[in-house]
Amino acid sequence: MRWGQDHPNGKGKTFAIWTVVSQHAKSKGINRHYCQPCAVWVSIWPDGSHWPLTEQAEFLVKQEEIDHGV
């Protein structure tokens, strides 16, 4: 797990520029804040492929629109 990226000036952490809010019922509205390097890091999958946060969010929205019969 990463806890942020050190700022280049050595004084603290880089500010978050991405905020992802989990809207799924099981997520309870958790906010996740990412700086750009961390956002890239969570977009790289174990096989080396890249799936940007914006595309991940779009995919999840489409999944929520599908009635899974649950």
Tens digit of each residue's pLDDT (9 = 90 or more) over 34-57: 888 888 888 888 898 998 888 887
Burial of 38 by CB count in 10 Å (0-12 exposed, 13-18 middle, 19+ buried)?
A: buried
> Any idea what DSSP says for residue 14?
P
Instruction: Give the pLDDT score at 1.
Output: 46
Nearest CA to 56 out of 29, 26, 24 is that of 24
- Give the range of the structural domain holding residue 41, as residue numbers without chain letter: 18-65
Whether 37 is in a domain gets the answer yes
Lookup: tokens for 15: 């500010």
Residue 13 within a domain:
no
Q: With 0.85 as the threshold, say if the pTM is over it.
A: no
Residues in the chain: 70
pLDDT of residue 11: 73
Specify if 10 maps to a domain.
no
How many domains, in total, are found in the chain? 1
Question: What phi and psi, each to the nearest 5 degrees, are found at residue 31?
Answer: -95, 130
Beta bridge partners of 19: 33
